[in-house]
Structures are given as structure tokens and as C-alpha cells.
Amino acid sequence: MSVERIPWVMVALADAAGSERMAQSLRLAGHEVACCDSAGSAIEAVAARNMPALAILDLALPDRRQWLKALRSGEAGKGRNRPPLLAVAALESDAPAAEADSVLKANGFLRLPCSDDCLANVVEALLMHANSSVYRPLVLVVDDSPEMRNILNVSMSAHGFRFLEASTGAEALECARANAPDVIVLDHILPDASGLALMPELQSGRDPTIIVITGDPTASLADDYTRLGATAFVRKPFGVSLLIEMIGNLCRGQVPGPGAPEGNGIAADAFSRKLEQELRQARESLARRDCRIADMEREVNELLLELGRPARYPAAP
């Protein structure tokens, strides 16, 4: 008689105490959890239970490739489904998210420490999307602030996006060439380059959707980015939920790249309606601005006439 086995989460951090803290947090969220301190113990755990529903792997582990072999191509994985993988790294670590995607083929990436709620949200999202045929867009965030990258990572992973990060222009170009992201969130000012200088190379190949973020937007800067192919321009500070919604809308109707799962299941007409709505709102905003300028000109003329001076602005025909 076959015995039904409970889905479980494997946790493997470089710090044993950290593994236990994470395991306790996940248990409080209702998950069955086992901590493994070596690739060998991972194989033993799989043999005793079954393949985990999710594996959480620290990029600081010296033998992480052996872990992958154990979970995905080794003895433990024969004839069984390969579990989704969440790669994690300490906030101060130099380990890039690009390694999680291009080397480990991870399904998600998370900077630690994070709150229990953040961890639970990311884990739930990965478990929910693990067996889905819906295409999960790959987003590259280019920003020199590790705090900003971590906030966006947690939010995007929780909403089903795959995530990459870069802190410099050089990292961004290398990551974009290696991974062909669907969307790039690009900070205008980076330590080694401006976003404008990166635009031509970032658009080579797959031609991703590019959203530019800046703390000092101007009309001329927006025009420059638009001419170079940017899709949207966002002012700092911004609401993360607004950016997530924008990325979701821009990804609707997008054609997945080679090798991507079929069935993104999202109609392109929703994206078209969104663009039409934004254009209509922009026209209405311009019309209101023109009315305000006309009112100001009229007030200046009236004031000058009261002072006995000629009107500065000719009356509108």
C-alpha cells in the first residue's frame, strides 16, 4: 500500500543557525521543513521522504553545484520531478542575482535577512507558480542601491516574476547579454555610466521593454530616452505596487523568447487598451496645463493694464 507523503521544503544555508531560524519561520507559516547541511544529507532526506516541493539554497555554500547535482541531475532526481529552487544571499554579499538565474537556474532569488512575511510571500509564490504553464517574465533591475534591489526582488518574486539584478552599467550589460531579460528597470544615474549611454547595447538582441527610473526627471531627458527606445519613465520615489502593475501591463501580449514555456495566456488587447488610456490621460493633462497658462497670461495682462503699461501677451484670437 502506497503512503501519501507530505510536500516539504528543503532549507540549506551556510549558517546553521540561520537555517534553523528560516525553518522555524516557514513552519509557523504552515510548511513542513527539513534543514540539510550537505549535499549528501540532501540525498538522504530525499530518499527518506520524496523530492521537496521547494529547495532554498544559499549562494554562500561552497559546494552549491553539488547540491544542484543532488537535486536535479543526480541519484535523487532519477525519475522524479525536479523541485523549484530559491537562491538566497546575504544583503552584504557580493553574490549577484545573475548567478542564481544563469548558473543555478533558480526560480527565484532573495536577499537576507528579510521579514517572515516577505519570506512566506516569496515561498508561496514559487510554490504556486512551480507547476504553472504561464510564462514568467524575467526582469532585470539595474540600480546601485542594494536596499532598492532587495525591495523590488521580494515584490517581483511574490508576483510571479523572475528576477535579476545589477548595480553598475557593466554588470547590467553582462547580465542582459547572458540572460535576455523581458523587462529592464534602469536607473538613470549609475556609478560607472548613465542609463542613456547603456540604452543602445541593452536593446541589442532581444529588444527588451525598458523602464527608466530617476529622481530628477525633465521633459528633455524623457524625450532622449524615448528616442532611444525606452517604454516608460518613472520618477523617484515611486510606489513599488505601481511599478509592479506597470511591468505586468507592459508584459501583456509579449512573445516569450526561445525555450520559454508556452501559454502566457494574457491577451495583447489589454495592453493596447492600457496604452490608449494613458495617451488619453496625457492629452487631458496637456489641455489642462494649456488652460492654466492661458489664465496666467490673462492675469498678467490685466495687472499690467492696471499699472498703465502695455499688455505683455497678445490676446488670443
Q: Do 46 and 144 share a domain, yes or no?
A: no
Q: How many domains does the chain have?
A: 2
Q: Which one of 44-53, 58-67, 175-184 scores highest in mean pLDDT?
A: 175-184
Look at residue 278 and tell me if it is in a domain. Answer: no
Q: Do 152 and 244 share a domain, yes or no?
A: yes
| Grid cell of 99 as nine digits | 548567478
Better-scored residue on pLDDT, 50 or 4: 50
At residue 317, does pLDDT exceed 70?
A: no
Between 54-68, 96-110, 132-146, 273-287, the lowest mean confidence (pLDDT) is in: 273-287
Q: Do 96 and 4 share a domain, yes or no?
A: yes
Q: Do 103 and 149 share a domain, yes or no?
A: no
Residue 216 has a pLDDT of 79
Look at residue 243 and tell me if it is in a domain. Answer: yes
Q: Do 122 and 171 share a domain, yes or no?
A: no
Q: How confident is the model at residue 285 (pLDDT cuts 50, 70, 90)?
A: low
Whole-prediction pTM: 0.54
Which domain range does residue 49 map to? Answer: 1-132
Q: How confident is the model at residue 151 (pLDDT cuts 50, 70, 90)?
A: confident
Which residue, of 257, 285, 300, is where some domain finishes? 257
User: For 94-114, what is each residue's pLDDT tens digit?
Assistant: 555 555 555 566 777 788 888
Between 18-22, 238-242, 274-278, 300-304, the lowest mean confidence (pLDDT) is in: 274-278
Look at residue 171 and tell me if it is in a domain. Answer: yes
Look at residue 87 and tell me if it is in a domain. Answer: yes
Q: How confident is the model at residue 279 (pLDDT cuts 50, 70, 90)?
A: low
Q: How confident is the model at residue 263 (pLDDT cuts 50, 70, 90)?
A: very low
Q: Do 187 and 69 share a domain, yes or no?
A: no
Which residue, of 109, 132, 155, is where some domain finishes? 132
At residue 198, does pLDDT exceed 80?
A: yes
At residue 261, does pLDDT exceed 50?
A: no
Please report, for the domain that includes residue 190, its CATH number: 3.40.50.2300
Residue 148 has a pLDDT of 87
Which residue, of 257, 276, 304, is where some domain finishes? 257
Look at residue 287 and tell me if it is in a domain. Answer: no
Look at residue 290 and tell me if it is in a domain. Answer: no
At residue 170, does pLDDT exceed 90?
A: yes
- The DSSP-derived string for the chain is -------EEEEE-SSHHHHHHHHHHHHHTT-EEEE-SSHHHHHHHHHHS-S-SEEEEETT-TTHHHHHIIIIISGGGTTSPPPPEEEEEETT----HHHHHHTS--SEEEEES--HHHHHHHHHHHHHHTT--S---EEEEE-S-HHHHHHHHHHHHHTT-EEEEESSHHHHHHHHHHH--SEEEEESB-SS-BHHHHHHHHTSSS--EEEEEESS--HHHHHHHHHTT--EEEESS--HHHHHHHHHHHHTTPPP-TTPPS-----HHHHHHHHHHHHHHHHHHHHHHHHHHHHHHHHHHHHHHHTT---SSPPP-
Look at residue 58 and tell me if it is in a domain. Answer: yes
Q: Do 84 and 159 share a domain, yes or no?
A: no
At residue 115, does pLDDT exceed 80?
A: yes
Residue 192 has a pLDDT of 93
Q: Do 214 and 169 share a domain, yes or no?
A: yes
Q: Do 105 and 168 share a domain, yes or no?
A: no
Residue 188 has a pLDDT of 93
Q: Do 95 and 153 share a domain, yes or no?
A: no
Q: Do 244 and 170 share a domain, yes or no?
A: yes
At residue 88, does pLDDT exceed 70?
A: yes
Q: Do 180 and 242 share a domain, yes or no?
A: yes
Look at residue 125 and tell me if it is in a domain. Answer: yes
Better-scored residue on pLDDT, 312 or 176: 176
- On average, the pLDDT of the chain sits at 75
At residue 74, does pLDDT exceed 80?
A: no
- Mean pLDDT along residues 59-73: 72
| Grid cell of 246 as nine digits | 506597470
Pairing of strands 54-58, 32-35: unpaired
